[in-house]
Amino acid sequence: MSKPPEAADPRRHIPRTDALLALPAVSEARKRLGDTAVREVVRDAQEAARRGVIPPNDVERRVVEALTAHRVSSARPVLNATGVVVHTNLGRAPLSAAALEAVVAASGYVDVELDLHTGQRSKRGAATRAALWQACPAAGDALMVNNGAAALVLATTALAAGRAVVISRGEMIEIGAGFRLTELIASTGARLHEVGTTNRTHLRDYAEAVAGDDVGAILKVHPSNFRVEGFTSETSLTELRDLGRAHDVPVIADIGSGLLQPDPLLPDEPDATTALTAGADLVIASGDKLLGGPQAGLLLGDAALVQRLAKHPLARAVRADKLALAAMEATVGGPRPPVHEYLHADADRLRVRAESLGAATGFPVVEHDGRVGGGGAPGVPLPGWAVRLPVGAAQRLRLGDPAVLPRVHESACLVDLRCIPEADDARVLAAIKQALADQ
């Protein structure tokens, strides 16, 4: 049997690269995605046609559809239906609209280290430091670095490298991904001087350490991701303040989650204002947890001490970038961020929304306690409601468009609307219907 003439080969009708790149939709996509990404999509469609997966006359449509769906980043937006407010796997705190606007404004050339009045170089992030001080007047000054671990490393390096850091054995905690605060401290060249026991540490334990060792700092850490109950005892910041001042040793309080002021909803969660008033010379906190801002480590406290840290060479290595500085300024100086709104969501309104979703899908609504998350307020329930779907819907929701992350619990898929803006309820409903239709 003779081969068909070359002219009959359908692959000859595959559109040329230059013709595809000249399409208006492709030209627009090149501005958004860049030439490399667009050419890769074009090559993939052409190759699919060469293999016979799609007909040649389908190449143009495949290219346009693929570029329309193509994202500039691999990070995929997710609707958080778990009821966990500060969800570490979802990037912790979602930024407020004000913070997003500030990030966009700061993405170009900005006066991050420039005084426009004089034309001279200025201090980096001065406006953000001022906004933090205004939000926490108990602090003499403020410094922002790139995360909470960096804040702890900077403080112990600047104050205690080659010296001892006194810490209670009950506060030697491990944070996410296996990182241990004690290992972070040791990496700075400081020595750990452990005192007390897991459940009880007294003032005399700290006093003996300070009197018998070359101590650079006393560190008190809030065990934010666990609780010790029963026969327990700890030393207050006020007691440590008096001890530290008597020996000229600064007292550092690592409060973790980042509250700047007390929150009645979380009475056992420490805040920077209370810690400073009680006697801490320096408070360390995260910016992307209960504060609701970008990833950041905050150092708040005695002005001379904060300036000492700001001038240390390591401060350059851990400094925050202009986008984070702008987002933090907008977070503490603007309207309440989403984290606060989700924490304080009205349970009755959550029930109404959940019942509406349940009625539209035909599935029951059950009581469901949300959680603070991010190592904050362990065990504190946030009363709410969830739609109870078959457990098989969970994966289809995660892989759908939009991606919805539910909570899988007791062989059920629970959809909690606490951390979803009410304007997105219709999107959640559409996602559920699609997930159920695909089963």
Listed in sequence order, the residues at least 6 apart from 73 whose beta carbon sits closer than 8 Å to its beta carbon are none
Rounded to 5 degrees, φ, ψ at 427 are -70, -40
CA–CA dist 110, 100 (Å, integer): 16
Dig out the tokens for 10 from the structure.
Answer: 């359908």
Residue 139 pLDDT greater than 70, yes or no: yes
Q: How confident is the model at residue 176 (pLDDT cuts 50, 70, 90)?
A: low
**Secondary element (H or E) of residue 202:** none
Amino acid of residue 215:
V
Q: Which residues is 174 bridged to in the sheet?
A: 180
pLDDT value, residue 6: 53
Length of the chain: 439
Residue 66 pLDDT greater than 90, yes or no: yes
Mean pLDDT of the chain: 93
Rounded to 5 degrees, φ, ψ at 256 are 85, -85
pLDDT digits (tens, 9 = 90+) for 222-250: 886 677 777 888 899 999 999 999 999 99
pLDDT value, residue 61: 94
Residue 178 pLDDT greater than 80, yes or no: no
Residue 127 pLDDT greater than 90, yes or no: yes
Closest CA to 151 of 26, 11, 314: 314
pLDDT digits (tens, 9 = 90+) for 78-95: 999 999 999 999 999 999
Q: What is the percent of the chain where pLDDT is above 90? A: 85
CA–CA dist 256, 176 (Å, integer): 12
pLDDT digits (tens, 9 = 90+) for 345-379: 999 999 999 999 999 999 999 999 999 998 888 88
CA–CA dist 135, 131 (Å, integer): 6
Give per-residue burial for 206-221: e unless 16+ CB within 10 Å, then b: bbebbeeeebbbbbbb
The beta-strand segments (E) located in 337-434 are: 365-367, 385-390, 403-409, 412-416
118 with 148: CB under 8 angstroms? no
**Residue 349: count of CB within 10 angstroms of its CB:** 13
Residue 1 pLDDT greater than 60, yes or no: no
Instruction: Read off the DSSP letter of residue 378.
Output: T
CA–CA dist 307, 142 (Å, integer): 9
- The CATH number corresponding to 95-335 among 3.40.640.10, 3.30.428.10, 3.30.50.10, 1.10.3720.10 equals 3.40.640.10
Dig out the tokens for 184 from the structure.
Answer: 């972070």
Residue 57 pLDDT greater than 60, yes or no: yes
CA–CA dist 54, 63 (Å, integer): 12
**Of 186-190, 268-272, 323-327, highest mean pLDDT:** 323-327
Q: What is the percent of the chain where pLDDT is above 70? A: 97
Topology of the domain covering 78-88+341-437: Aspartate Aminotransferase, domain 1 (3.90.1150)
CA–CA dist 438, 194 (Å, integer): 57
pLDDT value, residue 218: 97
Q: How much is the pTM?
A: 0.88
pLDDT value, residue 181: 85
Q: At what angle do helices 59-69 and 24-33 cross, to 10 degrees?
A: 30
In the chain, % helix, strand, coil (3-state, to 5) comes to 45, 20, 35
pLDDT digits (tens, 9 = 90+) for 270-316: 999 999 999 999 999 999 999 999 999 999 999 999 999 999 999 99
The DSSP line for 111-124 is -TTEETTTTEE--T
CA–CA dist 46, 50 (Å, integer): 6
Residue 192 pLDDT greater than 60, yes or no: yes
Rg (CA), the chain: 27
pLDDT value, residue 3: 54
pLDDT digits (tens, 9 = 90+) for 67-80: 998 888 888 999 99
pLDDT value, residue 229: 75
CA–CA dist 208, 382 (Å, integer): 42
301 with 280: CB under 8 angstroms? yes
351 with 312: CB under 8 angstroms? no
Residue 2 pLDDT greater than 70, yes or no: no
CA–CA dist 51, 178 (Å, integer): 47
